[in-house]
Amino acid sequence: MAINNVGGDGGPPPLRGPAAVSRLQPAGGSATPDAATAATDEVSLTAEAQRLRDAQAALTQEPAFDAARVDALRKAIASGEYHIDSRRLAGRLLDFESELSRP
């Protein structure tokens, strides 16, 4: 049993002749549309989408965190003045976990 065409990539053979040209160029000649036939698209945003866009723009103007508060917390931790209420922390963790398990 002879195995032919082992050098190819397994795909179909390349197009030759007029079929190859028609794939590269649409029927009718020019590949670019005329200026008179080119369509323009318009997009209009709903009022809600505009509010969301404005809110996003406002958020990008705000800092991601309060640098003064972070600095104050760092100083309190470094000096040993910052104390953690373990009961409050445990309660908040339990609340968080219970919120995650709700459908």
Q: Any residues with CB less than 8 A from the CB of 67 and at least 6 apart, and which?
A: none
Give the residue extent of every domain in the chain. 65-103
CA 101 to chain centre: 27
To 5 degrees, how large is the angle CA 14–CA 30–CA 16? 15
Mean local confidence (pLDDT), 89-97:
96
pLDDT in tens, 2-59: 777 666 666 676 667 665 555 555 555 555 656 666 788 888 989 999 999 999 999 8
pLDDT at 61 over 80: yes
Yes or no: say if 89 and 95 are a contact pair by the CB < 8 Å rule.
Answer: no
Q: Which token pair is 26?
A: 């649409």
Nearest CA-CA partner of 18 in 5, 9, 27, 30 = 27
Strands (E) in the chain, as ranges, are none
